[in-house]
Amino acid sequence: MANWTEQKAHIAEAELTLIKGGTGKSLLMLHDELGFPGWMKWNDALAAEHAFVIPLQPGFGKTPRLGWVRSFRDLAGLYSMAVREMGLDPVDVIAFSAGGFIAAEMIAADPKIFDHLILVGPMGLKPEKGEIWDIFPVTIRTHLRATVAAPGTAEFGSIYGGEMTPEQFEAFEDARAESARIGWEPYMHNPSLPYLLRGVKNVPALLIRGSEDRIVPAGCIAAYTKAIDGARAVEIANVGHRPEIENSAEFVRIVQDFLAS
Amino acid sequence: MQISYFTERPYRGLDEDEILKNKAYFAVPNALFDREQAANDYNYYLDEYCYAEEVGFDALMLNEHHGNPFCMGSVMNVEAAILARITSKAKIVLIGNPLPVLKHPLRMAEELAEIDLISRGRLVTGWVRGAGSEQFFNNANPAYNRELFNEAHDFIVQAWTKPGPWRYEGKHFHYRHVNPWALPYQKPHPQMWIPGVLSPETVRWCAEHRYPYLGLGTALGPTCDLWDCYADEAAKHGYQAGPENFGYLIPTFLAETEEKAQEIGKNFVFGGGQNAFSRPEHTLPPGYNSKGAIRMLAKHPGGSWLGVSPEKLRAQSDDGRPDTTDFDTVRQKLLKGYGKAQKNLQLLIGSPESVLSKAKTLLRVLRPSIFVFFNIQGPVGDEDRKTSMRLIAQELTPRLREYAKEIDLVDPFERTPGSVAYRNGVTRAPVVDRAPLAALGMAG
């Protein structure tokens, strides 16, 4: 298990909590709409050659909520400031689900901010076909179950298994509330984003999706590959919205190959 | 004492199994809607409110819910406007307009002013945040619910009282030209009464604004706690709360005989009753509840808090639909709840004689000056509904009015809420009388 630490950074009146771990070139990780699930096997596997920088989203518990952040674009602006102030740019990024939406907004506003862009089951664009699953009119329990193809996945059980503690319940509700605050309408996408993404040129971009993903349809991936020049899509078979834990070996291999390119 | 009449105006043509199958009223498919049934129900309920005025109720109360056969009042102001014209003396009380989900406070200010004008000053307007399900139905961001509520309320009061035209740039609402021509008949504006189901945030907000708070059939002990919370907050704002600050709504069904009342009264749990208003995932949209309320739910996800029990939270299947079709077992369970609610004084069922002492106990303990009778739910016929209303108004109410006078339950039209000064350093006067709770097994 790699060493990782929790640190604070002061950005635009915000006290941003960051998780840092690993060595090598910086890799910005943007967690999904349920919050940072903890340091996982795939983090460990990549940490030998990559130094993770993981901001914990404002309003999700450890970083206080910022009243002025009212959209994913606002949040992307904050994170872009953080990247610049920490001197990380251009940085590699790996972003999950709603975190993918943030990363897409960041690169749309500043096409030079990322060296490599990896979006895993990203929200943010209206799918060409299908709908982004509505995470709000369901209980957290139903939502969690929907994120994986096989709830028996060992690492899924180790994070979310057993009875939910009051602290977990509260943390999930914080995450759901903040996601609603900035992503309620239009639901988890920005209609202007596909047009702005067309300004992104010559940035290696990889889209990863589990073949059984119930949260983000293949239509989102199609919309991204159409919007981002040269973006490549990879599907991992028999996994859901969490390929990084359902088939971490395959996931890590794909990511390592891409980042080495 | 204001004796009020209230009904949810239930849609009376729905098979109970459809509600049980859906595990709630909200989200029952509207393919089951029948226009003739609805047209009959809407017209009947308007006539019924006229009847309520005729038999002696002081106030006619309306509420609003969306996409829900539990309550036909999906646009309450339409009904209120009709009542403003076809009734002549009763107050028309709205409990209340769900400001965050309607999203247009200037339009609301105009609609309500019109109703107040048509009724020549009989409107009492109340505000609510809208049920959880209504945030989904109206696509209102639940995480901003409280902010939207506060801002819309403050704006409406200004729209009624600040001479226009003026411009408004708020956080959630923006208006270039605020100058409503139609202003309320009552000056500076109609009274506002705020209903609630045990939210301390709402109670504190009411106390701060000196608005009467109406408990909606909430359990007696926690309601006492909440009244105390109101009175403490009132003292901080420099006034002594009294009966004029409190109202209480009680589901009630009376019939000529005890047996008949008990049989028909079961319709209060038709389809699961109020606890089946919506499923947990619709009751608790993200960000809708305060951090404090979420913390409380996380630790004690049980009891009657918004009807969400730990069993209900756990029982949700992937599509939110039921895992059982054994509706008879469900009905048996509901009937147990029916008996328990009567024992806890959260339901009054019987003859005028048999419910009198229970109603008096409610008045004694909670000391509300606004007492609201909530008529039966389910597919109960017109005549049985009206019989209950007549018995309440003509046989029960006169005795309650006498008792209210005896224990000095002064209402908001007799004494302005918030007008009794509180002097710092003096112990505030009690607002509830908990003495009878011990005998009812509700002390502590």
Question: Which residue out of A136, A174, A187 would a mutagenesis test of the B interface target, given it has the greatest number of B Cβ atoms within 10 Å?
Answer: A136
CA gap B16, B22 in Å, rounded: 10
Q: How far is A141 from chain B (nearest CA, A)?
A: 8
Q: Which candidate, B133, B65, B70, B68, places its Cα nearest to that of B97?
A: B65
Q: How far is A170 from chain B (nearest CA, A)?
A: 6
- Chain A positions touching B280 (Cβ under 8 A) are 139
Residues of chain A contacting B, Cβ within 8 Å? 136-139, 141-142, 145-146, 166-167, 169-170, 173, 176-181, 184-185
Beta-carbon count within 10 A of B159 CB: 24
Q: A170, B142: Cβ pair inside 8 Å?
A: no
Q: B282, A141: Cβ pair inside 8 Å?
A: no
Establish whether the linkage from the previous residue to B56 is cis, with ω within 30° of 0: no
Residues of chain B contacting A, Cβ within 8 Å? 136, 139, 141-144, 280-282, 284-287, 294-295, 297-299, 313-314, 316, 318, 320
Per-residue pLDDT of chain A (261 residues; tens, 9 = 90+): 568 999 999 987 789 999 999 999 999 999 999 999 999 999 999 999 999 999 999 999 899 999 999 999 999 999 999 999 999 999 999 999 999 999 999 999 999 999 999 999 999 999 999 999 999 999 888 899 999 999 888 888 877 777 778 888 889 999 999 999 999 999 999 999 999 999 999 999 999 999 999 999 999 999 999 999 999 999 999 999 999 999 999 999 999 999 998
Establish whether the linkage from the previous residue to B188 is cis, with ω within 30° of 0: yes
pTM for this one?
Answer: 0.94
Question: Which residue out of B294, B297, B309 would a mutagenesis test of the A interface target, given it has the greatest number of A Cβ atoms within 10 Å?
Answer: B294
- Chain B positions touching A136 (Cβ under 8 A) are 136, 142, 285-286
Q: Which candidate, B59, B359, B332, B297, places its Cα nearest to that of B193?
A: B59
pLDDT score, position B319: 47
Q: B294, A142: Cβ pair inside 8 Å?
A: no
Establish whether the linkage from the previous residue to A37 is cis, with ω within 30° of 0: no
Q: B286, A141: Cβ pair inside 8 Å?
A: no
Residues making up chain A, counted from first to last:
261
Q: B286, A173: Cβ pair inside 8 Å?
A: yes
Q: A173, B316: Cβ pair inside 8 Å?
A: no
Which residue is associated with the tokens 């990549």?
Answer: A46
Q: Which among A137, A139, A185 has CB closest to B141? A: A185
CA gap B23, B280 in Å, rounded: 10
> Which residues lie across from A54 on neighbouring strands?
A19
**C-alpha pair distances (Å), A84 with each of A6, A81, A205, B215:** 20, 5, 20, 53
CA gap B166, B168 in Å, rounded: 7
**CA torsion angle A201 A203 A208 A209 (round to 10):** -20
Q: Which candidate, B53, B75, B55, B56, places its Cα nearest to that of B64?
A: B75
pLDDT score, position B307: 40
Question: Which residue out of A34, A68, A179, A184 would a mutagenesis test of the B interface target, given it has the greatest number of B Cβ atoms within 10 Å?
Answer: A184
Under 8 Å between Cβ of B10 and B378: yes
Q: A137, B299: Cβ pair inside 8 Å?
A: no
Q: B298, A138: Cβ pair inside 8 Å?
A: no
Cα B110 → chain centroid: 23
Paired tokens of B122: 């009989």
- Chain B positions touching A177 (Cβ under 8 A) are 142-143, 286-287
- Chain A positions touching B136 (Cβ under 8 A) are 136-137
Residue of A nearest to B287 (CA): A177
Q: B143, A177: Cβ pair inside 8 Å?
A: yes
Question: Which residue out of A134, A135, A169 would a mutagenesis test of the B interface target, given it has the greatest number of B Cβ atoms within 10 Å?
Answer: A169
Q: Which among A137, A145, A170 has CB closest to B294? A: A170
Residue of B nearest to A68 (CA): B171
pLDDT score, position B305: 32
CA gap A21, A27 in Å, rounded: 10
User: What parts of chain B have a pLDDT lower than 70?
Assistant: 297, 299-324, 444
Q: Which among B139, B285, B298 has CB closest to A169? A: B298
E strand or H helix that includes residue B247: strand B246-254
Q: B143, A181: Cβ pair inside 8 Å?
A: yes
Q: Which among B281, B286, B318 has CB closest to A180? A: B286
Q: How far is A8 from chain B (nearest CA, A)?
A: 24
- Phi and psi dihedrals of A91, rounded to 5? -120, 155
Q: How far is A202 from chain B (nearest CA, A)?
A: 38
Q: How far is A23 from chain B (nearest CA, A)?
A: 37
- B438 by Cβ neighbours in 10 Å (0-12 / 13-18 / 19+) ranks as exposed
Q: Which among A145, A170, A177 has CB closest to B298? A: A170
Is the ipTM of this structure higher than 0.90? yes
- Chain A positions touching B294 (Cβ under 8 A) are 169-170, 173
Q: B298, A173: Cβ pair inside 8 Å?
A: yes
Report the sign of the C-alpha dihedral through residues B229, B223, B98, B374, in that order. negative
Paired tokens of B401: 């009015």
- Chain A positions touching B144 (Cβ under 8 A) are 181
Q: Which among A166, A179, A184 has CB closest to B299? A: A166
Q: Which candidate, B23, B10, B13, places its Cα nearest to that of B275?
A: B23
Interface A-B, measured as beta-carbon pairs within 8 A, has a size of 63
Q: Which candidate, B195, B112, B98, places its Cα nearest to that of B149?
A: B98
> Which residues lie across from A83 on neighbouring strands?
none
3-state secondary structure of A158: helix
- Chain B positions touching A179 (Cβ under 8 A) are 286
Under 8 Å between Cβ of B254 and B388: yes
CA gap A131, A121 in Å, rounded: 13
